[in-house]
Amino acid sequence: MSRKYFGTDGVRGPYGSATMNEDFAWRLGAAAARFVKAQPGFKSSQVFIGRDTRASGPALEKALVGGLQSEGLLPVSLGVVPTPVVSLMTRSAGAALGVVITASHNPASDNGIKFFGPAGIKLTDEDESRVEALLPAVAGHASTSVSLLAAPLARYLELTTAILPARSLAGWKIVLDTAHGAACVSSRTVLESLGASLVLVGHEPDGLNINAGVGSQHPELMAEKVKDTGARLGIAHDGDADRCILCDELGEVLDGDEILTMLALHAVKQGRLAAHTLVITVQSNLGVDAAVSAVGARVCRSQVGDRYVIERMLAEGASLGGESSGHVICSDISPTGDGLVAAIKVIEVMLATGRPLSELRRVLTKFPQLSAALTVKEKKPLESLRTLSAVIKGVEDDMGAAGRVLVRYSGTEPKLRLLVEGPTAIIVQSAMDKLVAAVRAELEVIKA
């Protein structure tokens, strides 16, 4: 079933646009409520709503609440909380729905709305198509009031703090970058309660500075602080804290592929890698497959998007999966990406081995890789781009099993994403140059 409004991670766009404004939020809330009430065995009317720190969040929340209430549901606001908190509260309470108002790693001018089902797992493509089909034509009135949950972080803080022994981070200096986003309180509270001394970055949200030069998309400041302060590692989240990017004690940044490979190999040694399987996406480096296969485990790949990762994990019986972007899913703790949990699980490996992050990361040797994101005026069907298709086939034929090409449109932005992996950096660069030239010949590229 095709979707008009939903992308890889909910509905997202510039605030004030046709699909990200108060009227649309009201209609989307009403449609989601209609969808929920049509489910077999519908019982609970409760809906938990969380948001990040964007200035547009409260207005969108008020409108969304109005739409939900118009269909008889009972929204409960969690206020500003990380995305995994909404997932946790939804499944813990057996709520009908969880909603997060966030544009994740996007700039403050954007916002978005994404949904979780009663199990704390994001809605499927089919579910989202059904929600779209139930959109009312006209919006009603925004809510005048909404229930507020007292101490919305309490259960999450208890869960995440319990992953490590009490005070196990005493004497650790850690740089924490919360992107002026939803984790400013939660990640700081957990790490400090475990005894860590924190150097804070991106911890003063003002509604307009979320992800602005900080966070998982901009780890440079975090890395600089690690080197300047002699910290043991750096941790960076995105705006809604479902991502984690790390920095070792030398100031070198680690992505999701390195985090997942470390966690997978440690789990194999401990005999704890469920189904002996790691789930990653088509975006992840081929080096992950090589490293995991070398210890007798296997890798399965899904399409890009952490909800597709969890769907594959459920199908395979796996408990560990994620994306190179920093979404890491430890499903024995949370069925969605959780930046804090990912960081704590890596610290757990550091404590168990007594080795610094700069050594642990060596378990992954990446294949030469280049990626590009070209902003395009129109997302023409890829199969209609004959020149690009011919170039892709030529590159794939040349590299054979020693490399790969991935070309896809972003599910949340007007971008065409290109990825090339191959046996040498020279071959990869040549292939990327050919792909970019082919794209420019057939699409109007606004910027690279």
pLDDT tier for residue 145 given thresholds of 50, 70 and 90:
confident
Q: How many residues does the chain have?
A: 448
Domains and CATH numbers, the chain: 11-152 (3.40.120.10), 155-251 (3.40.120.10), 256-341 (3.40.120.10), 369-447 (3.30.310.50)
> pLDDT at position 125, please?
95
Tell me the whole-structure pTM to 2 decimals. 0.90
Average pLDDT over residues 145-169: 96
Q: What is the distance between the alpha carbons of residues 244 and 339, in angstroms, rounded to a whole number?
A: 4
Share of the chain above pLDDT 90, in %: 94
Residue range 408-437, pLDDT digits in tens: 998 778 899 999 999 899 999 999 999 999
DSSP state of 362: G
Question: In this model, does residue 213 exceed pLDDT 70?
Answer: yes
Q: Give me 220's structure tokens.
A: 């440079």
How many C-beta atoms surround the C-beta of residue 404 within 10 A? 17
- Amino acid 281: pLDDT: 96
Question: What pLDDT shows up at residue 68?
Answer: 97
pLDDT tops 70 at residue 1: no
CA distance 258 to 43: 42
What is the DSSP code (8-state) at residue 56?
Answer: T
Confidence of residue 203 (pLDDT cuts 50, 70, 90): very high
Residue 211 has pLDDT above 80, yes or no: yes
Contacts of 8 (CB under 8 A, 6+ apart): 304, 305, 307, 410, 411, 412
User: Which residue in 56, 70, 77, 104 is the catalytic one?
Assistant: 104
Average pLDDT score over residue span 21-37: 98
Alpha-carbon dihedral 26, 105, 283, 312, rounded to 10 degrees: -50
* pLDDT for the residue 70: 96
Calculate the dihedral angle through the C-alpha atoms of 244, 247, 248, 252, rounding to the nearest 10 degrees. 140
**Active-site annotation holds for 319:** no
Alpha helices in 94-219 (DSSP H): 125-133, 154-161, 186-193
In this structure, what is the dihedral angle of CA atoms 399, 403, 405, 406, given to the nearest 10 degrees?
Answer: 170
Between the alpha carbon of residue 97 and those of residues 49, 78, 112, 149, 220, the distances in Å are 9, 13, 16, 15, 37
> Given a cut of 70, is residue 448 above it in pLDDT?
no
| Mean of all residue pLDDT scores within the chain | 96
- Residue 402 binned pLDDT confidence (cut-offs 50, 70, 90): confident
The two tokens of residue 78 are 């969690």
Nearest to 61 by CA among 4, 82, 52: 52
For the ranges 64-73, 169-178, 364-373, the lowest mean pLDDT is seen at 364-373
Distance from C-alpha of 333 to C-alpha of 228, rounded to nearest angstrom: 34
pLDDT band at 73 (very low <50, low <70, confident <90, very high): very high
> Closest Cα to residue 217, out of 241, 240, 236?
236
SS3 292: helix
